[in-house]
Amino acid sequence: MKLKDVSKLKNGKKANYSNIGNIPVYGANGIIGYTDKPNSPKNAIIIGRVGANAGSVFYSFKEHWVSDNAISVLPINDRVNPYYLYYALFKLDLNRLVEGSAQPLINQTILNSFDISIPDIVFQDKVVEKILILDKKISLNKHINDNLLELAKASYRKVLAVSNLTETKLKDFATITMGQSPSSKTYNEDKVGLALLNGAADFRNGIHPSKWTTDPKRIVNKGSYIFGVRATIGLTTKVFDKYAIGRGTGSAVSKDTVNDEFLYFVLDDMFKYFSNSGSGSVYINISKSDFNDYIFCKPQTNDLQKFHQTVGPIMNKIYTNKQENLILTQVKETLLNKYF
């Protein structure tokens, strides 16, 4: 049947960001801001309409605003389970509906006429029951992690406020390694050699390398922090395996394990600084000397030890939840492949 037979499609509108509230604004790449009024109900599916993210699919659990670069899909509930329709659209390659190259675009008329397979509602409900429980657990873990990270940040701000601080260069606190891309001739997708993290795209929202190399030039080990250093900078992520890193990636390892958690927040502050005033204005490109010479305020040793004792377990729980979400996501993908 056609998508229009089980849903109503509605183009979004430009949001008024001067009226800030807690209503999420969805665009082509997910939530892009907040406003004070919704223009679409909860349990709607949002599809990116224009740009590089045209065809991306999201689900909104609450009332929201759909911007003018997205389309809201409102399921007709007596014909389709909203979650089933979301999973079906999520698994389909909507990019094939995108028109144009300079400005990719999905037309609402084309979406309306899109053929989609919808089984009877009883089967839909059974499939949703199996997958939705995974989504809810993944969402809960993310919410817990957000709260845990806020606790850790509060401890970081507190130790900076109460300790006697010393200006310190990053090179005296951590070992910085800049990535170097191997020859493309050594790349493969058969998982031979080391997984290659060539840039931020390989570890945005979790580590998901697209290539492996048999001749790594720079290697990071378990426990290292990695981050983007070209164009997209930051996205500091801790790794729990050995990886090769390319020229778009850098790494940092604390010279004293007691300072590991504090280093994470130093890096976070540093990338905010570089984003605002670092080298490059349009295309940010940070050098090793920029990292090494970055100056921050270091607390006294005993305060760093107390910070480690307090924040270490919090960060470890965050990493544990992320690992659980990775496994849950893999199980979810298996079910999606089975039913869609």
Do residues 242 and 208 touch, judged by C-beta distance below 8 A? no
pLDDT-based confidence at residue 321 (cuts at 50, 70, 90) = very high
> Does pLDDT of 15 surpass 90?
no
> Does pLDDT of 280 surpass 50?
no
Percent of the chain's residues with pLDDT above 70: 95
Tell me the whole-structure pTM to 2 decimals: 0.83
- pLDDT for 101: 58
For the segment 261-272, the average pLDDT, to the nearest whole number, is 96
Using one digit for the tens of pLDDT, what is the confidence trace for 101-123?
566 788 788 888 888 999 999 99
pLDDT-based confidence at residue 1 (cuts at 50, 70, 90) = confident
- pLDDT for 102: 60
pLDDT-based confidence at residue 281 (cuts at 50, 70, 90) = very low
To the nearest whole number, what is the mean pLDDT of the chain? Answer: 91
For the segment 228-237, the average pLDDT, to the nearest whole number, is 88
For the segment 323-327, the average pLDDT, to the nearest whole number, is 94
Q: What are phi and psi of 249, to 5 degrees?
A: -130, 145
Q: How far is the C-alpha of 287 from the C-alpha of 250, rounded, in Å?
A: 10
Give the C-alpha distances (Å, rounded to integers) separating 195 from 115, 176, 208, 212. Answer: 38, 20, 9, 4
Q: Picking from 103-107, 143-147, 230-234, 254-258, which range would have the lowest pLDDT averaged per residue? A: 103-107
pLDDT-based confidence at residue 93 (cuts at 50, 70, 90) = confident
Q: How far is CA 231 from the centre of its chain?
A: 16
- pLDDT for 6: 93
> Does pLDDT of 46 surpass 90?
yes
Sheet holding 249-254, edge to edge: 174-178, 249-254, 225-230, 232-238
Half-sphere exposure of 202 (CA within 13 A, CB side): 23
The two tokens of residue 35 are 């406003």
The residues facing 227 across adjacent strands are 250
